[in-house]
Amino acid sequence: MSFNARKFFEAYGIEYYEGDYPDKHTRDGWIQTTCPRCGNGSGKLHLGFSEDSGCFVCWSCGFIPTLEAIRRFTGTSWTQAKSIVRQYGGTAKKRRYKKTAKEKDIDCELPKGTLDYFPKLHREYLENRNFDPDDLISLWDLKATGKKGDYAKRIVAPVYYRDTLMSYQGRDVTNRSKLPYKACAEENEKRHHKHCLYGIDLAVGEAVLVVEGITDAWRMGIGAVATFGIKYTEAQVLLLYYHYKRIFVMFDQGEEQAQQQAKELTHRLSVMGKEAENITINKECDPGDLSNEEANFIMRDLLIR
């Protein structure tokens, strides 16, 4: 049984609204009210109680443990708040989440035409984007393909998880392909690339920065992982949940849809009890288009908090 927020709010005279109320923060499955931590008296419905997960999450200040929320709402002691939580069906048990996607019993292999050196064209592509080819090739184990084959003239980024090749993605270096990014064919993937986080084996700390694409991860460096686009999957959410304590999300700054997805991802992780934050900067650009100095400053600021 989860905490009955509706009965609690009614018993303590706390005004609340539900999904059919015309406010941008209300939606089905959530009970909205003013946040007792950051918005008392503001009239904004930033705090939501998820009837699915039984958690309080504020759109402004993030996840709020039920005990803390009740204590702030009632002005009581921790002991009294615990009694109130139990009175309205709350429990100390944590919700369990399912394991991430299974891997196929196959070996993933890099595409035909993969070279054992980096041609001039591929190096120039990286240099033109202000990357150091040698550093990038060494750090991310990048490969290059020749002039023929399904992945011709691409930089291939292997996707590892627990030191095992799961998939890969190829970036066109000619800027003429209809598919700038081309992933491994699904039947050849040991684990679908959208069930992986690019860079997860390098991001071994408690904190991580989540970006959209592989070039964004290259720019931000160790400690960044990519979701291969803004449409994140349940498996990726669970990987973040299991591996990290603090999670920062920085999707493309100038795209409304990307920002909406970033907010939803941080909100989802907050509901699961993680410290999650959507990072915005005063530039309408991709993280991959930042200067090295800007990227390094952001990573230092986030990962050493």
User: Is there a domain that residue 96 lies in?
Assistant: no
Q: Is there a domain that residue 214 lies in?
A: yes
Does position 287 have pLDDT exceeding 60, yes or no?
yes
Domain assignment of residue 162, yes or no: yes
Q: How confident is the model at residue 95 (pLDDT cuts 50, 70, 90)?
A: very low
Spatial separation of the C-alpha atoms in residues 196 and 194, rounded to whole Å: 5
Identify the domain containing residue 43 by its residue range. 5-87
pLDDT tens column, 135-184: 899 889 999 999 999 999 999 999 999 889 999 999 999 999 999 999 99
How many domains does the chain fold into? 3
Q: 176-222: per-residue pLDDT in tens?
A: 999 999 999 999 999 999 999 999 998 888 899 999 999 999 999 98
Query: What's the whole-model pTM score?
Result: 0.70
Residue 97 lies in a domain: no
Distance CA 122, CA 118 (A): 6
Please identify, among 143, 175, 195, the residue that sits at the C-terminal boundary of a domain.
195
Q: Do 221 and 292 share a domain, yes or no? A: yes
Domain presence at residue 262: yes
Give a yes or no: residue 288 inside a domain.
yes
Q: Decide which of 87, 122, 139 is a domain's last residue.
A: 87
Spatial neighbors of 46 by CB under 8 A, at least 6 apart, are 25, 32, 34, 35, 38, 39, 58, 59, 60, 61
Higher pLDDT, 99 or 206: 206
With a CB cutoff of 8 Å and minimum separation 6, the contacts of 100 are 195, 235, 238, 239, 242
* Same domain, yes or no: 48 and 72: yes
Is 266 inside any structural domain?
A: yes
